[in-house]
Amino acid sequence: MLYDVAVAGGGPVGSWVAYRLAGMGHKVVVVEKKADLREPVCCTGIIGKECVDRFDIDEDVIFRWANSASISSPSGTLIHLQRQEPQACILDRPAFNVSLASRAQDRGVEYLLSSPVNGIEGRDDRVRLKCEGCERGTEFIEARVAVIASGFGSKLVDELGLGGAGDSVMGVQAEVETGGVDEVEVYLGQKVAPAFFAWLVPTSPKRALMGLISRCRPGFYLRRLMSSLADQGKIASAESELSYGGVALKPLTKTYSNRVIVVGSAAGQAKPTTGGGIYYGLLCADIAADNLHRALESDNLSAKSLANYQKRWKKELGWEMKLGYWGRRFYELLSDRKIDRIFDIIKKNGIDESLLKADDLNFDWHGRVILRLIGYGALSSIVRSVKLPFPQGRKN
């Protein structure tokens, strides 16, 4: 059978592309290496209300809503952020995977599970996906165009010569039992998560996800933090099983080729500030679906035609990602002493309260927060002390 579209990867981004294209009348297959979409994933699953509303996320896959968070400096100073209305929610990630896949299947999308894609071969009028190691033996799936949505570090991207993410780190996470954590907690400091941050995110009564991102030894740092919080009685034990996953901080230089496009974490479409990839991935999945629909209708699936996909997503997200990466690199260069100093300035000058009152700032877009922070005169001396070129381009 020749499909119109073959999607490699049955996560949220792959399923959303499939859902959209099937709704436009195309024959779509999703090829997924997992035997069950309910398998655990290394993702905290925090998304903003804007994402929930835009993609009509089912309430049944939401653990809980969050309207507050506490951020702890290296010395233990706390900044508490709270708004009256919920700003974000924590998803049940496996249930979210299943929910979006079910939507796609309702539109006629076919799912092939236990089918890892090991290679993509281009031909004049189609692409051929090679699936090895599945229960049915080696299989070949043919389609007019392929979408790579197989997650961070996909080997398919390398084989097509599209390279890797411009910068990436490793994240680690564990599910823990708590003594009753009511809000998201974030921990900063070189001894906690060098140059990055750690988190404790409540999911259900007395359960939470705890993790961190680091360029080196993330498992070591998470175990140490877990031991500290266990000693404080905040979590029950430091012995929970750890799961690891790569986090892209910069996107691929090129996210398209002849009869192939790359979306989501495989393309490095994530927030550089936090590593969150669900919302950016879904936004780019929408752009991909619209571009592919036009290309399929005109029967022009060349690299030149599919380049419009990259132009579109970069127009929508490019400046935000550049500014977010600048903010990320700026933070990496701060010592614990400077981070503590920033906390003192923020609290003394009421900057945290000012940010909370700003209607144009929300959970999903961090660029405006970064611009607002560096615009405060009280923080100017610290900003000037870090020699990091400001990204060039749009600044509004």
Residue 332 is assigned to a structural domain of this protein? yes
- Distance (Å, rounded) from C-alpha 130 to C-alpha 115? 9
Least confident of 62-76, 123-137, 279-293: 123-137
Residue 79 is assigned to a structural domain of this protein? no
Q: What is the pLDDT of residue 375?
A: 86
Q: What is the pLDDT of residue 115?
A: 92
Q: pLDDT (tens digit, 9 = 90+) per residue, 107-116?
A: 999 999 999 9
- If asked whether residues 27 and 158 sit together in one domain, one would say yes
Contact predicate 285/13, CB 8 Å: yes
Compute the average pLDDT of residues 363-384. Answer: 87
Residue 344 is assigned to a structural domain of this protein? yes
The rounded mean pLDDT for the chain is 92
Q: Is the pLDDT of residue 395 over 60?
A: no
Give the pLDDT band (50/70/90) at residue 136: low
Compute the average pLDDT of residues 67-81. Answer: 94
Give the pLDDT band (50/70/90) at residue 386: confident
- If asked whether residues 125 and 264 sit together in one domain, one would say yes
Q: What is the pLDDT of residue 133?
A: 62
- If asked whether residues 354 and 297 sit together in one domain, one would say no
- If asked whether residues 228 and 308 sit together in one domain, one would say no
- Pull the structure tokens for residue 162: 């599209």
Write the DSSP symbol of residue 290. H
Q: What is the pLDDT of residue 264?
A: 96
Residue 172 belongs to domain spanning: 167-247
- If asked whether residues 259 and 126 sit together in one domain, one would say yes
Compute the average pLDDT of residues 78-103. Answer: 94
Contact predicate 211/222, CB 8 Å: yes
Pairing type for strands 62-66 and 46-48 reads: unpaired
Contact predicate 218/293, CB 8 Å: no
Compute the average pLDDT of residues 272-284. Answer: 95
- If asked whether residues 376 and 243 sit together in one domain, one would say no
Half-sphere exposure of 346 (CA within 13 A, CB side): 23
CATH of the domain at 228: 3.30.9.10
Q: Is the pLDDT of residue 396 over 90?
A: no
Q: What is the pLDDT of residue 358?
A: 84
N-to-C CA span, the chain: 48
3-state secondary structure of 310: helix
CATH of the domain at 273: 3.50.50.60
Q: What is the DSSP string of 227-243?
A: HHHHHTTSBS-S-PPPE
Residue that is last in its domain, among 212, 232, 247 = 247
- If asked whether residues 231 and 291 sit together in one domain, one would say no
- If asked whether residues 277 and 331 sit together in one domain, one would say no
3-state secondary structure of 307: helix
Measuring CA to CA, how many Å separate 345 from each of 331, 358, 376?
A: 16, 19, 10
Write the DSSP symbol of residue 360. T
- Domains in the chain: how many in total? 3
Q: What is the pLDDT of residue 378?
A: 87
Residue with tokens 């299989």: 139
Residue that is last in its domain, among 265, 291, 316 = 316
- Distance (Å, rounded) from C-alpha 36 to C-alpha 215? 31
Count of other CB atoms within 10 angstroms of residue 59: 8
- Distance (Å, rounded) from C-alpha 245 to C-alpha 157? 17
Report which of 264, 256, 199 is spatially closest to residue 226, judged by C-alpha positions: 199
Compute the average pLDDT of residues 300-320. Answer: 96
Q: What is the pLDDT of residue 132?
A: 79
- Pull the structure tokens for residue 369: 């927060």
> Is this prediction's pTM over 0.85?
yes
Contact predicate 208/176, CB 8 Å: yes
Residue 75 is assigned to a structural domain of this protein? no
Q: Is the pLDDT of residue 359 over 50?
A: yes
Q: Identify which of 120-129, 150-159, 221-230 has the greatest average pLDDT.
A: 221-230
Residue 333 is assigned to a structural domain of this protein? yes
Residue 81 is assigned to a structural domain of this protein? no
Residue 9 is assigned to a structural domain of this protein? yes
Q: What is the pLDDT of residue 135?
A: 63
- Pull the structure tokens for residue 299: 């029967």
Q: Is the pLDDT of residue 335 over 60?
A: yes
Give the pLDDT band (50/70/90) at residue 389: confident
- If asked whether residues 310 and 368 sit together in one domain, one would say no
**Strand ranges, E, within 221-292:** 243-250, 256-257, 260-262
- If asked whether residues 161 and 97 sit together in one domain, one would say yes
Residue 375 is assigned to a structural domain of this protein? yes
Q: pLDDT (tens digit, 9 = 90+) per residue, 11-58?
A: 999 999 999 999 999 999 999 999 999 998 888 999 999 999 999 999
- If asked whether residues 348 and 241 sit together in one domain, one would say no
- Distance (Å, rounded) from C-alpha 140 to C-alpha 129? 5
Give the pLDDT band (50/70/90) at residue 393: low
Q: What is the pLDDT of residue 394?
A: 60
Pairing type for strands 139-148 and 2-8 reads: parallel
Contact predicate 260/145, CB 8 Å: yes
Report which of 206, 196, 199, 270 is spatially closest to residue 12, judged by C-alpha positions: 270
Contact predicate 113/32, CB 8 Å: yes
- If asked whether residues 10 and 117 sit together in one domain, one would say yes
Residue that is last in its domain, among 247, 278, 301 = 247
